[in-house]
Amino acid sequence: MEDSAIRFSGRPERVFISVDERTGRSTLSFAPTGVGAPLIREGDASGEAAMVTARAIVAKYDGCVIVGPHFHASRPPGSPTGRRRR
């Protein structure tokens, strides 16, 4: 996705970057809620493509800050969810 194709319904204050190490997918989400739809980048296990996009957004909107990247590993499909036994 090209950075110029990103559309906001308002002014973003924060750009959050989350990277799933298991799938290699990064997600950019924005605050306040509803200002823009989350952007997902496939094949970005290091979060570098997300950071490039986030830096471009921050350069356009004065006062906007980057939070992250935060790295996590999602559960594999079909893994137990940790339900309690009674």
What is the three-class DSSP state of 1?
coil
User: Across residues 20-36, what is the average pLDDT?
Assistant: 94
Q: Is the pLDDT score of 24 beyond 80? A: yes
Long-range contacts, stretch 27-32, CB < 8 angstroms, 24+ apart: 28/53, 28/54
How does residue 76 score in pLDDT terms, banded at 50, 70 and 90? Answer: confident
9: Cβ contacts below 8 Å, ≥ 6 apart: 34, 35, 36
pTM given for the model: 0.80
